[in-house]
Amino acid sequence: MSAMVWETDLARAQDTLSGARIVAPVSGVVSMVALAVGTSVPAGDGIQIQEGPMEVLAQVPEAYVARVRPGQPAAVTIPAMGGVTLAGTVAWVAPSPGSAPGAPAVTHPVSITLDEPPDDLRAGMTVSVTIDTADT
């Protein structure tokens, strides 16, 4: 191929690129990008977006789960952020256990919605959760 054809193809590609717009299908915060320059886009989740409120999934031992209800206040402490404690609210309590294999005790998943998560909070960070069950 001659240099003139390559230059024409390059000019056409640059024109196409200058008119391109990338629009997200939802509003949210990009939490992971599993793409690299020069690779094919994978089927599925090449980009993950945190949409809606930030939630923490905690495991509550079966001895205490009967005292946990949606709407209860919770405190979520994040060691990786200097031990900052965030306010949250219990969103739901799973009706059946969801213990990890090999866990020493049966636990139930509990979701806690964070009231005002900081921008530098990331999905997957380790947290410690305290749920106020005083009114149960």
Q: Kindly list the structural domains of the chain, giving each domain's residue range(s) and its CATH number in brackets, ordered by start.
A: 3-49 (no CATH), 53-131 (2.40.30.170)
Q: What is the pLDDT along the chain (136 residues), one digit of tens a residue?
A: 566 777 888 888 888 888 887 776 667 666 667 777 777 776 666 666 666 688 999 999 888 999 999 999 999 999 999 999 999 999 999 988 876 666 668 889 999 999 998 888 888 889 999 998 886 5
Residues in contact with 94: Cβ distance below 8 Å, sequence separation at least 6, in sequence order: 108, 109, 110
Residue type, 11: A
Residues in contact with 35: Cβ distance below 8 Å, sequence separation at least 6, in sequence order: 41, 42, 46, 47
Tell me the pTM.
0.64
